[in-house]
Structure 1
Amino acid sequence: MKLQKMVWMGVWAFGAASAQAAGVTLTMSCNSSEQEIQYCKKMAAEWGAKTGNTLELLSIPQSSSDILGLFRQMLAGKSDKLDVLQIDVVWPGILKDQLLDLKPYTNGVEKNHFPAMVANNTVNGKLLAMPWLTDAGVMFYRKDLLAKYGEKPPSTWAELTATAKKVMDAERKAGNAAMQGFVFQAKAYEGLSCTGLEWVASFGGGSIIDRAGKTTINNPQAAKALDMAAGWIGTIAPQGVLNYAEEEARGVFQSGNAVFMRNWPYAWALGNGADSGVKGKIGVITMPKGDGPDSTGAAALGGWQMAVSKYSKHPKEAADLVLYLTSEAVQKERAITLASNPTIPKLYQDKDILAANPFYGDLFETLKVAIPRPATVTGVKYNEVSAAFWNATHEVLSGKSTGTASVKKLEGKIDAIRRGPSW
């Protein structure tokens, strides 16, 4: 109740002057960052002027878990006070019973978006959300340091490991004792589910649980991938990486003290900011491959979607708003003004967008191979499954377990979760 009271303190209304009488009033959640709030206000005013409707923006907490908690509370109560929701990429399965099927409203426009995102948002044949912005793990590296030591950007994890060690050792010998070879997200939290999934999938070890709901994590390639990552701790990665989330990794890399960094694309703009120690020295490549015949670069899919509550009194208008906000024109404007990653592949060839975001050419290759976390198939149980995976991965990284023992134990935990209430 405290959370709900806090949230409802901030509501802004925008629309045409006559909209109060002529049109309908919708309420949409908006990201809590000031930049996003200002953009949502702009979009609300434009859509209101276009349709004669009024859009109220609902302020929400900063934490994703708090946002999900609020949404679940409101939807469980069948509240009609929230029509359009911005939802995380792992939420469609969790909220599947309370979101509107958008297929009757789209006229097939979802085919213009990345197939992996559309598949992620489709549960039991229903399109529960439209892609709004996308994200995927990428590998950042120091262009200047690789050139200095005659190294090329790595295409495999083995190459990354060797290059990271060579450059790190040389830089330390030259006087920078703080230099690390590789920093990434290894803290026991959702971010480790992303990095761990990338390692496993890149070795041909599957996606933890397949789309049919079968637990697949207990296999030699998955175990090998986790053991590989454990070998980085204390060698090319600092022991402290076991407590790193995105910002901790970025802090080390941006200060000039890491050769490689796994992170999300947001780090590009910050890394090239005026106050960055590595401005103009950053390269971006797709995630490295494993070492098996089925190995491939794998990037965890992230991003946000637009969905409509099943309890909205105005589903048609709400769906129209979702289609407007996720349209090509709006996504292009967001990409240029906010460096927001589009969910429409053709926009990565748009000259205006590439002028504003030169690295989008490289990012497109990563997004093409992005893999979703097993959120759709696990539904409301995703948080439990993800926690089991990140804890199992963390045990291997911290030397408390081996890859083989960990994936076997994890299989049992996931199957136990499966035996609970249906996911």
Structure 2
Amino acid sequence: MKKKLLGLLLATSVVAASFAGCGNESSSTSASAASATDEAANPEDISGEITFVSANDQTGALDEMIESFNKVYPNVVVNHESLPGASDDIKESLMTSLAAGDSSPDVFECDIIWVSQFAAAGWLADVTEDIEPIADQYLGGPLSTVYYNDRAYAYPDYTDVGLLYYRSDIIDTPPTTWDELVELSNEYVGKDGIEYGYLFQMFQGEPTSCNMLEFIKQNGGQDLVNGEFKLNSSNTVESLEFVEELISSGVSPEGVLTHKPADSRAIFEEGNALFMRNWTSAYALTQTEEGSQVVGKVGVAALPTGPNGSSSSGTLGGWAFAVNAYSEQTEAAKAFAEYMSSYEAQKISALKRGTFPVVADVYDDEEVLSEQPYIAAVKDAADAAEPRPQVRDYSTVSTLFAEYIHKALTGELSNEEALETLDTKLNEALAEMQ
């Protein structure tokens, strides 16, 4: 997608910092909440007591979503539990229960990069037949994240995507190509306090995986193709060369090789950069953090494309609602997970905790637009975005990817040597996952 994303983007910092009343309802409301397999059934016929586990939600949105669910499913009791700690702590806690075959929790919030790992382990209920009849209601990007080996194992919760931030007080129209980004950077660096053209994040770890996959796919490169990693291509080499040139030419500071999202945002908030790649949550922070010099001066657009690319490609983040394969209340659990991913629940989440919905129509909801007119800005970007490699052990893939991409960017290996070795090691790791 090359068109400018119009309007302001303002995601609340609640989503970034945590696991991260509604008006007129759409025609896709209460009736659509029932599972497609139970379409003819009365929701009141579904009963049971389930446990739902999430990260700490200080907004109260999840509890309000549960109350909305109970208006449709009055005979399902939902016990909501919150797990403390960061994402990795929550994952460890969930894995302990799931690996033991515990029937609780029945439903839990699941990072999209855990879906393939948990599904491959047999811990998630297959919901393919339930979700496919209603698949059209979801944005394409978020929907793609709940699949593993062509089967669906969760319902989308909320989404996140890499975006281009720019100084709207300096330029009117953001770049849609790499060449335009460099041209504008060269024009404005040294003026109006701008020291750097483009900030991004290449800290050796997940930031490298997310950012470099964007550069690769923006230029027509690929990662996992028909069960085999094929990163070693001319398009990927060109992507690495572009990143190296951004740094060597001074368009980007050498520090990007150690940047995490917060590091780039700090420089951008000081007013020292023209462009920045960051997640959806960055907008709210640039507009609310004490000392920010760019309040009212930030625009958002899709990431630009490379010379061999056909569309912008932001990496997807976000969460899903997964059903425990060992749940003893599968019918009630599936009904709950599906409802939490429905129009009415997504609307509550968007209004109260500032998440970016996975249901397309919520972006056009009059009440949501009235409260948050900027929310439509990420609709197309999220719809077109692509997930990270959906494999049994994503953490191993990410670790190898970040290691050899860094070896290339720091000159320890040539780009071709790094990519050839990376493909070999990734495919060896993939074989061991089978």
Q: Please, which of 32, 44, 68 is the counterpart of residue 56 of structure 2?
A: 32
Which has the larger displacement, 280-289 or 360-369?
Answer: 360-369
Matched, 1:56 2:84: no
Counterparts of 1:188 and 1:196, CA distance in 2 = 11
Is the CA contact 2:314–2:381 (under 8 Å) kept in the aligned structure 1?
A: yes
The residue correspondences of 1:58-73 to structure 2 (distance < 5 A) are 58-73=81-96
Matched, 1:116 2:141: yes
Q: Please, which of 392, 414, 430 is the counterpart of residue 402 of structure 1?
A: 414
Q: Please, which of 197, 201, 218 is the counterpart of residue 202 of structure 1?
A: 218
Partner in structure 2 of residue 366 of structure 1 = 381
Q: CA deviation at 1:358?
A: 3.0
Change (3 A) 1:107 1:119: closer
The residue correspondences of 1:337-416 to structure 2 (distance < 5 A) are 337-375=352-390, 378-379=391-392, 381-416=393-428
Q: CA deviation at 1:328?
A: 0.3
Please give the per-residue CA displacement for 1:151-192, whole angstroms capped at 9, x wherever unaligned. x31111121122123212223xxxx4x732211121011122
Change (3 A) 1:290 1:396: same
Q: Please, which of 317, 322, 325 is the counterpart of residue 332 of structure 2?
A: 317
Counterparts of 2:332 and 2:303, CA distance in 1 = 40
Matched, 1:305 2:317: no
TM-score (norm 1): 0.85
Change (3 A) 1:267 1:398: same
Partner in structure 2 of residue 17 of structure 1 = none
Equivalent pairs, count: 384
Is the CA contact 1:227–1:396 (under 8 Å) kept in the aligned structure 2?
A: no
Amino acid corresponding to residue 147 of structure 2 in structure 1: T
Counterparts of 2:359 and 2:270, CA distance in 1 = 34
The residue correspondences of 1:134-173 to structure 2 (distance < 5 A) are 134-147=159-172, 152-171=173-192
Partner in structure 1 of residue 197 of structure 2 = 181
Query: Identity of counterpart residues, as a percentage?
Result: 27
Counterparts of 1:34 and 1:357, CA distance in 2 = 20
Counterparts of 2:367 and 2:63, CA distance in 1 = 24
Please give the per-residue CA displacement for 1:59-103, whole angstroms capped at 9, x wherever unaligned. 224322222222222111001121101111112210111111123
Counterparts of 1:169 and 1:400, CA distance in 2 = 32
TM-score (norm 2): 0.83
Please give the per-residue CA displacement for 1:214-244, whole angstroms capped at 9, x wherever unaligned. 1110101001101211222251222222221
Which has the larger displacement, 236-245 or 138-147?
Answer: 236-245
Is the CA contact 1:187–1:241 (under 8 Å) kept in the aligned structure 2?
A: yes
Show structure 2 runs of 5+ residues with no match: 1-45
Is the CA contact 1:146–1:153 (under 8 Å) kept in the aligned structure 2?
A: yes
Which secondary structure does the structure 2 equivalent of 1:94 belong to?
Answer: helix
Q: CA deviation at 1:250?
A: 1.5
Counterparts of 1:165 and 1:142, CA distance in 2 = 14
Counterparts of 1:229 and 1:122, CA distance in 2 = 31
Counterparts of 2:138 and 2:240, CA distance in 1 = 32
Is the CA contact 2:47–2:332 (under 8 Å) kept in the aligned structure 1?
A: no
Is the CA contact 1:299–1:371 (under 8 Å) kept in the aligned structure 2?
A: yes
Q: Please, which of 17, 37, 41 is the counterpart of residue 63 of structure 2?
A: 41
Q: CA deviation at 1:55?
A: 2.0
Counterparts of 2:353 and 2:182, CA distance in 1 = 34
Counterparts of 2:427 and 2:130, CA distance in 1 = 38
Amino acid corresponding to residue 302 of structure 2 in structure 1: T
Counterparts of 2:98 and 2:155, CA distance in 1 = 19
Which secondary structure does the structure 2 equivalent of 1:362 belong to?
Answer: helix
Amino acid corresponding to residue 199 of structure 1 in structure 2: F
Counterparts of 2:269 and 2:361, CA distance in 1 = 31
Q: Which runs of 4+ in 1 moved over 6 A?
A: none
Is the CA contact 2:144–2:386 (under 8 Å) kept in the aligned structure 1?
A: no
Counterparts of 2:344 and 2:125, CA distance in 1 = 24
Select the structure with the greater relative contact order (CA < 8 A; seq sep ≥ 6).
2
Q: CA deviation at 1:33?
A: 4.7
Which has the larger displacement, 185-194 or 270-279?
Answer: 270-279
Q: CA deviation at 1:331?
A: 0.8
Change (3 A) 1:61 1:224: farther
Is the CA contact 2:62–2:349 (under 8 Å) kept in the aligned structure 1?
A: no
Q: Please, which of 238, 249, 254 is the counterpart of residue 239 of structure 1?
A: 254
Partner in structure 1 of residue 13 of structure 2 = none
Q: CA deviation at 1:251?
A: 1.6
Amino acid corresponding to residue 300 of structure 1 in structure 2: T
Q: CA deviation at 1:366?
A: 1.1
Partner in structure 2 of residue 220 of structure 1 = 234
Partner in structure 2 of residue 85 of structure 1 = 108
Amino acid corresponding to residue 93 of structure 1 in structure 2: S
Which secondary structure does the structure 2 equivalent of 1:399 belong to?
Answer: coil
